[in-house]
Chain A
Amino acid sequence: MNFFLQIVINGILTGFVYALMALAIVIIYKSSSVFNFAHGSLVGLCTFFVWQMVVGWGLPLYVALFLELTVIAALAYTLQRLVLKPLTGQPLMAAIMATIALGEFFSGIVVLFWPGPGRVLPVWIKLTTLKFGPLVISSESLTNFIVCAICFAVFLLFFQKTKLGLAMRGTAEDHTLAQSEGVKVDLIFVVSWFVAILVAAIGGVLMSSLYGVSYDSLHGLGMKALAVVILGGMESILGALIGGLIIGLVESLGSGYIDPLVSGGFSEVAPYIVLLIVLIFRPYGLFGYERIERV
């Protein structure tokens, strides 16, 4: 029973990071209806860049933060202006392949500049390890949970309370209508990419505190976020949260109970099995809009 509870707690805590990753994909999809397959690579790229600044160049934290924000803004603008804008109005395949190709491109850059084994980031926030009887919540997991919860709260407030958030929600509803109301749709796309890449960087740094900075695990994290988004529904922020928790739980239970039976690795595919089942029975996800489409 304790083993079970421990697994559930671990799953939920990891699930919050997945939910945060999924949030990034949902933000982009909601505003520009581009499904970002490059997310995994962006997580990797941003995290390695943070490592480069903090450990590689030894910059102080606030300078690194400022630089990171600048680079992310530049990246978001470049992506939108050079790659995604020319592809407006192209078939679905073009947008999907463009983000996949971007992912390849960024993977290449990471492999080029940071070859070899993983890196280790310093620990910035040190919390105590919580113990409830036999149950243990490690300091890293607790930090992840708190940061993710804060991020979620900030983004929800941003979407609900600020004018820019309102403009983003409006753009998500209808591009043409938003533009006719004076919303700069192009700017909104850039902002949503900026937010998404920022979230990717935060998630990457958080996950690195658990597993170290390794490209494979960061990329895998981004890919699992795809499963979370499909599970939760592509337009739903609440769906991203619930989906993230479910995928985190499934993965944790899979690694606790099924991995010992099949010599490991099942937790890696468990999210995809859930994804397949969801696609068969509820293709638009748990909280997505049910579009009436010709099938």
Chain B
Amino acid sequence: MYKKPCGVFDETYAQDSALVRTGYRWTMLALFLIVLFGVLPFFAGNYLMDVMINIAITVIAVLGLQIIVGFTGQISLGHAAFMAVGAYASAMLSTHLGMSFWIAMPLAALFAGLLGIVIAMPALRIRGFYVAVTTLAAHYIIMWFILHGGNWTKGVSGLTAGEIRIGSFSFDNELKFYYLAMLFATLAIFLTSNMMRTKIGRAMIAVRDNDLAAEFMGINVFKIKVTSFFLSSLYAGVAGSLLAHYQGIITVDQFTLMDSIWMIAMLIIGGATITGAIMGVVFLKILHQVVLFGAPAIGHVFPAFAGSAVAAFMQIFFGAVIILFLIFEPRGLFHRWQITLATFRLWPFPY
């Protein structure tokens, strides 16, 4: 949590409960938003826009995972499957029933959320490790249903999703979609930050820290677990829906178990906070780009590896990065960043 610098006091309730608490932070936030929305889009090409859109969509999904992993303390290995549910529900509603994105997306998200509740039902009896295995099983079962959905999900050949439009304005190129995706991501960050300050959010953290004590204090642990599964799947549904309509076509290959693992990896690398989640997404997506451009070079040096270099090095690097972070910095980049900030606040004095 953010700590106020020396000499800043709250004098009113409004100040005390403000999300952004000092003028300095307001300035930095405003600058960041201006760069994000005003400057970057005009200097970046389509490729960078595409990467940024992917980051924005992943941020939404990972924030959902953060609710379940970081705040409620349950491990979910089925997040990609919930994204798939959102993506396919939204694509089916828009393709088969001709609904607009603005109706299909909330319905798809709601459907993913409700499915999350169904999967979470065993959570009444189990915790920790068993939740991980339950969601793993759920992943395989959900993906099987999607693969064998016949004409509804179009199996292996991929399902199309209509483009997003408001009236006659259509989000048909990267630049337009960038604004939409970033808007959703910003909204998701804002809502999550605020939710963690409400009763439900604090109850989630209580359940994570000690569920017996939480129950003793009058928190309905089962209800909180189910709520956080619902919210987590809801975020995944929104992210999946955006992904479906951005790409225009979705296949089952886009939602593998590995994607779920990468999302957890993002949380581990960033550190399980909201800022940490964003840092983790950005870090891993940059690493992804590095491998994407670096691996062919390695394949060039060692021709024996050329055929499979990108796919192989992606897995090798990601596995290694996760293990290295687990061993050397289990609290993630966000923790490192805070230490750096604290050091520079007093620099050049040691304390």
Contact = CB atoms under 8 A, between A and B. Distances in A.
Are these two chains actual partners, yes or no?
yes
A84 to B, nearest CB: 10
Interface string B313-340: 1111111101100110010000000000
8 contacts: A90-B326, A96-B75, A98-B326, A101-B319, A104-B316, A109-B312, A111-B315, A227-B137
Given A94-B326, A97-B268, A272-B137, A104 B129 contact: no
A42 to B, nearest CB: 13
Contact of B320 (A97, A105, A265): A105
A276 B261 contact: no
Contacts of B319: 101-108
A268 B148 CA distance: 12
A272 to B, nearest CB: 4
B122 A105 contact: no
B315 A104 contact: yes
B307 A116 contact: yes
B144 A101 contact: no
Nearest to B77: A100
A279 interface: yes
B144 A279 contact: no
Interface in B114-157: 121-122, 124-130, 132-134, 136-138, 140-141, 144, 147-148
Given A115-B307, A263-B148, A295-B211, A101 B323 contact: yes
B274 interface: no
B313 A108 contact: yes
A94 B323 CA distance: 9
A279 B327 contact: no
B316 A109 contact: yes
B264 interface: yes
Given A97-B326, A109-B312, A276-B137, A265 B147 contact: yes
Nearest to A114: B308
A287 interface: no
Size category, B interface: 35 or more
B265 interface: yes
A86 B325 CA distance: 12
Interface of B: 69, 75, 77, 121-122, 124-130, 132-134, 136-138, 140-141, 144, 147-148, 211-212, 258, 261, 264-265, 268, 305, 307-309, 311-320, 322-323, 326-327, 330
B136 A226 contact: yes
Given A101-B326, A265-B147, A111 B312 contact: yes
A130 interface: no
Given A83-B323, A83-B327, A101-B318, A96 B121 contact: no
Size category, A interface: 35 or more
Contact of B261 (A100, A226, A227, A263): A100
Contacts of A135: none
A181 interface: no
Interface in A223-237: 226-227, 230
Contacts of B317: 108
A187 interface: no
Interface in A74-126: 83, 86-87, 90, 92-94, 96-98, 100-109, 111-112, 115-116
A97 B136 CA distance: 13
A271 to B, nearest CB: 8
Contacts of A83: 323, 327
A98 B327 CA distance: 9
A269 B140 contact: yes
Interface centre among A100, A230, A269, A279 (most CB of B within 10 A): A100
Given A96-B129, A105-B316, A115-B308, 13 more contacts: A83-B327, A86-B327, A90-B330, A97-B265, A102-B323, A104-B315, A104-B318, A108-B319, A109-B316, A230-B130, A265-B147, A283-B125, A283-B130
A275 B133 contact: yes
A104 B322 contact: yes
A94 B330 contact: yes
Contacts of B128: 92
A93 B314 CA distance: 22
A58 to B, nearest CB: 18
Contacts of B147: 265
A262 interface: yes
Nearest to A226: B133
Contacts of B315: 104-105, 107-108, 111
A280 interface: yes
Contact of A98 (B69, B313, B323): B323
B130 to A, nearest CB: 5
Contacts of A163: none
Nearest to B272: A93
B78 to A, nearest CB: 11
Given A96-B132, A97-B264, A265 B326 contact: no
B176 to A, nearest CB: 35
A219 to B, nearest CB: 10
